[in-house]
Structure 1
Amino acid sequence: MFEKLTLFYHSAPPPDLANTLLFGIISLTTLVSFISLMAPVTQLTHFCVLGFLLLYAYLDKKNVGDTIKALILEVKTNPYLFILGCICLFPAILIASGPVGYHDTGMYHAQAVKWINEYGTVYGLGNLHYRLAFNSSWFYFAAFFDILAFDGRTAHVINLVPYTLVLLICLSGFYNLFKKNISVSQILKCLLALPICAAPFLTIVFLPSLSPDLVVAVCILYALILTIDYCEEREISASGQTDRQSETFILLVCLSLFLPTVKLSSLPVLLFAFFIAVKAENRKIKLLLTSSLVGAIILLPFLLGNVLLSGYLLFPFPQIDLFSFDWKVPYQVAENVRWSIKYFAIHPGMEGGIGAVAGMSTLEWMQSWLARTGGKVINYWTVTALVLAIIFMIICFARRLRLGLSILAIQTIVLTGIVYWFFSAPAYRFGIGWIWAFIILAYGNCIYLVLQAVGRRFVEYVVRGTLVVLTVALVNLLLIRWDSFELLSHDSSDLLLNVRALPSEAMKAVKIHEGLVINVPLKERGWNAELPGSPYVNNNLQLRGNTLAKGFRLAN
């Protein structure tokens, strides 16, 4: 349906399953974000959206049926890939539905989703707790599925979606390599599993949480793959832009505009879309108008939500100060939040706290960061990737490979993303997408040159062996969480059919004034506590009306 709306729907070949899933994530999140501006995202919302989708499937049953048949045929023709995918997915389901302990999910992720479910987007919610003004669109996606969690369960299993996306993309890459379709983009798809194996906290920590860091990292890597794929298709297409290129371009534009609504640390991903947009075949009125319209639809609910939650178009960037609503977060508060994010990312445990970091010069905080976090970034993977990137560029210019200039431009975009991350908020989890984009691109380029130089039979053996190794590595990684498997052996029905509830913390009720009582957690994390809740109490906080739905403001 999304492809039809973007005017590039075509019946053959059948759409890529990973692209279809990504289109669905973006369109559903945008729709739910719009709904939350006017009403809470309740069970009724869920059933209305499902009813609309069923009606559409009935009216367009031919194309929907053809797509389903094509997907079933792919499974039948590749049963081993399907089985391996299920083997990797099953333990991930156990982990995602198991115990939750991620700090930020307890501090504000779960509370943000609860507000969306019960009240929608609330005016001045950032005055209650500034983190509730961050407005990640991933929380709206999670809120839509929270009604599936009956008996007081939660939506923290939502990070299974980006993990499933990784499996689909990775297996798609292996499938195309089996068909002797050797290209840089297909190799990068296979390497997408590498950061999952080499950076285990992406799954062990983020799977059972509401953190948007996993989906941001995965989508940055896939935006890189889409850009490479477009450039390769352009090199082999002699008759202008193909339908496949148009679909890739629209998806890349949608993804590049969607990711900053999830987390602003992904902002440089817009350069991928810009790099493709400036190419001659995309300077067409129809394509540019469609891209602009789709981009406006994706960004509008995010920007409106920011204004409602904090009074700013982008929070915490108060420099873009266009409004003077009564629920607006004070300028200095927003500015302090912006700097505290950076200082905390540099050295969260430094003696003297954030103030000590703020007093450092640029050279001093860089030295402090390298001493504390540098080992996570400057390691075997990044050093070898840098060497391989230099070798690949030398070979490209020596052989005059046409794709070399495009690869160089894309590598520059990735490095720009790393620089932006480093000087904005250099916490490793914020930059993992950019760091691993640089790594897999360098490795993928050199693997491509090697596979081009060897025999086809050898390529087949290498691909099969790599697939087995990655599968074993993924399953072994997921087996780290033995507590999930212990639960399975004790009571399998409870584990497989239910989702573990969020932890509960002791709370105290703090009365600000008549009619406003704040639930304050004793250990900072409120999890799924009753609203309104906040780890901090501001005695100047006021209700804008006689209900929580009217929002909050600060007394002058």
Structure 2
Amino acid sequence: MYVLLVCFLITSLIFVVLGKSCVTYLDKSNHQNYNLVDAFFIGLCFTGAFLNIWSIFLPTNIFSLLVLSAGTLLLIYRDKVYYKKTLKQFLSFPKKEKILSILLLATVLIVLLYAVVTPRLYDSYLYHINAIQWNELYRAVPGLANFHNRFGLNSSLFVLSAGFSFTAIYNQYLFVINSLCFLVFFMWLLRQAFIHKGAVGVFSLVFMYFFIQQYTLDISSPGSDLLPNILVGFVLLSMLFERSSITNKFLLYIFIPLFCITLKLSTLPIVLITILSLYFKNNNHVFSSLKQLVLYGQFLILPWLIRNVILSGYILFPMVELDLFSFGWKVPAEKVIEIKKLIYSWAKIPYKDSNEVLKMSLNEWVPFWWKNLIEKNQRFFTLAIFAPITYGIYGFLNRKEKNYSIFLVFIIAYTSLALWFLMAPDIRFSFSVILILALSPILLLEKLINKFSNLFNPLLYIAAIYVLYSIGNEGYVLFREDYSTNRITEFAYLPKDVSEVKERRVVKYKNVIFTTKLGKQIELFAPSQSHSQCYDKFPCSWYIENNFKLRGETLQDGFYR
């Protein structure tokens, strides 16, 4: 736990300092409006974009971390007066926030319980960890998706995880990005509950409770679903909780939505927030807004698009519709269509032939899909579907109010929901949007709840303690699966090495030897049982076909078919 906490502090420091520097230079007139959490997430996006650029030319490893650390230290030294003041303010909680400080400390300990367990997601052992290894050992490899089609699913999460794996220091992988971002989001929600109280307080605690239930197994895993849902949730909730922030924190609504696309393409609708934020900032001037959108996009998205082309030959993999290049390493169109079908069909009806599922009409696949949902998610989805009626009633009863923030969040969230449902309706892909829509009636009842604030506000402390206890208890159950509390040495310093998981699994491997033109032999691995997990071998694919070849003398040269 100690090492993980140190890694949290190092990573947080880099994100906050880089984020604060972005704010200072790009939004000088409003820089005082951004808090530490805003700076953290802006810095995360900046760092992710920087590492995407780095990974095109160099492996993302301890050297990229050292460069980021050196840059952070220089920025701290230059602005040492500001950071001394900030640290002093951060450590000195007002007396009225002493209870909150105790709850926030409990939050750190609870999230550490989740963070030290070995990854629980199946796909992490299938390809997530391997993808991180490729980023850490090599720069972007041409045609890597030919070796394993999942390596073409180029989430920036894998590059970030490679940059902050701390492997060279501790000789094992530490997957800190998801757990750290979850911790920051968790603490932010808890603090919002006690700052705003009333309807926002109730909403924050309920959202926190159900959000962690959905992503319990993701916190310690380097999966690509949790982080985009955290960022989408943070952006939409920031608009709801601070309704003037779209104009006085415009940088928040540029960096996060644009970077979200590089984490999960299905988050595309929240870019509407970026467009609106730039439009308001530029006094409704369309051309200036588009110009700035392109400039920010060149830094936040373009490097990711270049990585896509290098890894698969396509700008957006797996979309053959945007087939603009004819590089020798390009994945054949039929293979791209195959994985696209698998993604779309699996989200609707898993374990069923993709062609059969995609031929089904809406009336045919929805009953199967609905039956596969757990009861709780059925309720959330139903509430989200009826959100327009809820908001329509609210708008009619409050016709004199001009509450644009709620309206914008509703439109963007519902657009996201519609796109998600029609394309790949797996709950984990877009849970934050579903949950926000489902719980929106709480915020719409703000006036009513505030009338009874004397009753609700004291109950917030009890509710917060219950939420923390419930979440902590679930984390402890997971923790006990990996550790014995009688042997504190098992977890007090370093969490278990992920490689220990292979001792609980018996996976046999077969190897394939490739001989290069100069006679060099390169060994590749695949599980004996096809389509199985293979994280503990490198380079490894869940199966190896006979129709791909090495492009050169090393793995860095890539693959082609």
Coarse TM-score class (shorter-chain normalised): 0.7 to 0.9
Aligned to 1:453: 451
How far is the alpha carbon of 1:267 from its aligned partner?
1.7
| Cα distance, 1:407–1:101 mapped onto 2, change above 3 Å | closer
Q: What does residue range 112-511 of structure 1 map to in structure 2 within 5 Å?
A: 112-148=131-167, 150-177=169-196, 188-197=203-212, 200-203=213-216, 205-229=217-241, 232-233=243-244, 245-279=246-280, 282-283=283-284, 290-350=292-352, 353-373=353-373, 375=375, 377-379=377-379, 381-383=380-382, 390-391=389-390, 393-404=392-403, 406-446=405-445, 448-454=446-452, 456-483=453-480, 487-502=483-498, 503-504=501-502, 505-511=507-513
Residue 541 of structure 1 is aligned with which of 534, 543, 548? 548
How far is the alpha carbon of 1:459 from its aligned partner?
4.2
How far is the alpha carbon of 1:58 from its aligned partner?
0.3
| Cα distance, 1:201–1:528 mapped onto 2, change above 3 Å | same
Deviations 1:195-234 (A, max 9, x none): 235xx2402x11121112111222221121133345x32x
Q: CA RMSD in A?
A: 2.7
Aligned to 1:520: 526
Paired with 2:539 and 2:172, the residues of 1 have a C-alpha distance of 19
How far is the alpha carbon of 1:535 from its aligned partner?
0.9
How far is the alpha carbon of 1:404 from its aligned partner?
4.5
Paired with 2:354 and 2:412, the residues of 1 have a C-alpha distance of 31
Matching residue's letter, 2:322: I
Q: Which SS does the other structure have where 2:118 is aligned?
A: coil
| Cα distance, 1:194–1:442 mapped onto 2, change above 3 Å | farther
How far is the alpha carbon of 1:90 from its aligned partner?
1.5
| Cα distance, 1:525–1:51 mapped onto 2, change above 3 Å | farther
More displaced 10-residue stretch of structure 1: 272-281 or 545-554: 272-281
**Unpaired runs of at least 5, structure 1:** 234-243
How far is the alpha carbon of 1:513 from its aligned partner?
4.8
TM-score, normalised relative to structure 2: 0.87
Matching residue's letter, 1:272: I
How far is the alpha carbon of 1:150 from its aligned partner?
4.6
How far is the alpha carbon of 1:258 from its aligned partner?
0.9
Aligned to 2:35: 16
* 1:216/1:259 contact within 8 Å kept: yes
| Cα distance, 1:275–1:462 mapped onto 2, change above 3 Å | farther
**Unpaired runs of at least 5, structure 2:** 1-20
Q: Identity over the aligned pairs, expressed in percent?
A: 23
Paired with 1:278 and 1:126, the residues of 2 have a C-alpha distance of 38
Matching residue's letter, 1:367: P
- Aligned positions, number: 529
| Cα distance, 1:377–1:122 mapped onto 2, change above 3 Å | same
* 1:33/1:140 contact within 8 Å kept: yes
Aligned to 1:551: 558
| Cα distance, 1:127–1:443 mapped onto 2, change above 3 Å | same
How far is the alpha carbon of 1:82 from its aligned partner?
2.2
| Cα distance, 1:441–1:156 mapped onto 2, change above 3 Å | same
How far is the alpha carbon of 1:309 from its aligned partner?
0.4
| Cα distance, 1:113–1:121 mapped onto 2, change above 3 Å | same
More displaced 10-residue stretch of structure 1: 431-440 or 114-123: 431-440
Matching residue's letter, 1:120: R
| Cα distance, 1:273–1:44 mapped onto 2, change above 3 Å | closer
How far is the alpha carbon of 1:316 from its aligned partner?
0.4
How far is the alpha carbon of 1:111 from its aligned partner?
0.4
Matching residue's letter, 2:232: I
Matching residue's letter, 2:334: Q
Q: Which SS does the other structure have where 2:301 is aligned?
A: helix
* 1:311/1:329 contact within 8 Å kept: yes
* 2:313/2:330 contact within 8 Å kept: yes
Deviations 1:219-264 (A, max 9, x none): 221121133345x32xxxxxxxxxx654522111211111110011
Deviations 1:91-141 (A, max 9, x none): 321332223332100111000000010002111100100100111001111
Q: Which SS does the other structure have where 2:523 is aligned?
A: strand
Paired with 2:241 and 2:280, the residues of 1 have a C-alpha distance of 14
Matching residue's letter, 1:490: N
Paired with 1:253 and 1:187, the residues of 2 have a C-alpha distance of 28
Aligned to 1:57: 76
Paired with 1:494 and 1:218, the residues of 2 have a C-alpha distance of 30
Paired with 1:135 and 1:189, the residues of 2 have a C-alpha distance of 32
How far is the alpha carbon of 1:470 from its aligned partner?
2.2
* 1:8/1:247 contact within 8 Å kept: no
Matching residue's letter, 2:215: L
Aligned to 1:48: 67
* 1:385/1:443 contact within 8 Å kept: no
| Cα distance, 1:155–1:483 mapped onto 2, change above 3 Å | same
| Cα distance, 1:371–1:38 mapped onto 2, change above 3 Å | same
Aligned to 2:10: none
